[in-house]
Amino acid sequence: MQIIVVSGDYRTRRNINVGWLHVVGLIAVSLAALVLTATLANYLSLKYAATSDHPLIRRILLADQHEQARERQQQIQDNVNSLAVKLGEMQAHMLRLDGLGERLAKIAGLKPQELPSATANAGRGGLATPSTPLSLDQFTRQLSELQKGVEVKADQMTVLEALLVEGSAQRKFLPTLPPIESVNYTSNFGYRIDPFSGHQSFHEGVDFAAETGTPINAAASGKVITADTHPAYGKTVEIDHGNGLITRYAHASELLVVEGDLVVRGQRIAKVGSTGRSTGPHLHFEVRLNGAAQNPARFLAVK
């Protein structure tokens, strides 16, 4: 590009050659000057606005600050509301755990108020009132109370677990399982007419009518202390369940255990027969506590 400069009287002239580099440089310098001017103007205006006491400017600045604070507060409240919903769900789960704890306490033989720290979850109620969103402080207190409730409930469940495990273990060693699946008493515990002598005598067990070969099961877990033939009882099995409790299974046709065996509740130990002093196939079943005969029906009635 060529620029011709002519004097006022047209007598002299001057040719100036301008290349693309000069044009680009001129544009760049102009833009830089424009940006610098705008930045300086903005800085001076903000500085003036910050130090100015002009009512209009102060209102504009305060309105902007209030809007930013309102937006931050709304974000915080939205987060608290979302967490409050989760808190409500957790509290509902705690109520269901309370109900489960009460049912388990009844199974374990306890009253709900006998559980440790049960008063920490005392009943609550009252009239319904208009609800308002939780504040951050209220949410923090509710969360702290829920945490304490969870700790209390954990203690309760631990106690219930121990009681139920203990109770389950004890039940396994109580002769509550019928030794024959179909319970059909032919002779009960107590005085009766002896089928051989015709005289009144005391029957120390109960008789179950069953066909020869019918399985006989252990009424409870324990250790076999007798697996032999007795003159009156015929082929007999006796099981020691601990704490002085013994069960006797008499008149069997076949013994399936030997002395010293450890058996579990429901295990097959013999088969029904008519050995010994017997008028026909049946099982004579006894329960003895410290050597004294007990009524087996009382144990078998326990569920």
Whole-number pLDDT of residue 17 = 60
111-170 confidence digits (pLDDT tens): 555 555 444 444 444 444 555 666 767 777 777 777 777 766 666 666 666 555 556 556
- Cα–Cα distances in angstroms (integers) from residue 33 to residues 21, 28, 37, 38, 117, in the given order: 18, 9, 6, 9, 78
Closest CA to 228 of 261, 185, 186: 261
Whole-number pLDDT of residue 118 = 44
Superfamily of domain 185-300: Glucose Permease (Domain IIA) (2.70.70.10)
Mean pLDDT of the residues in the chain: 75
How many distinct helices (H) and strands (E) make up the chain? 4, 14
Structural domain boundaries in the chain:
2-51, 78-117+135-172, 185-300
Q: How many CB atoms lie within 10 A of CB 32?
A: 10
Per-residue pLDDT, averaged over 171-181, amounts to: 84
Per-residue pLDDT, averaged over 80-89, amounts to: 70
**DSSP classification of residue 271:** E
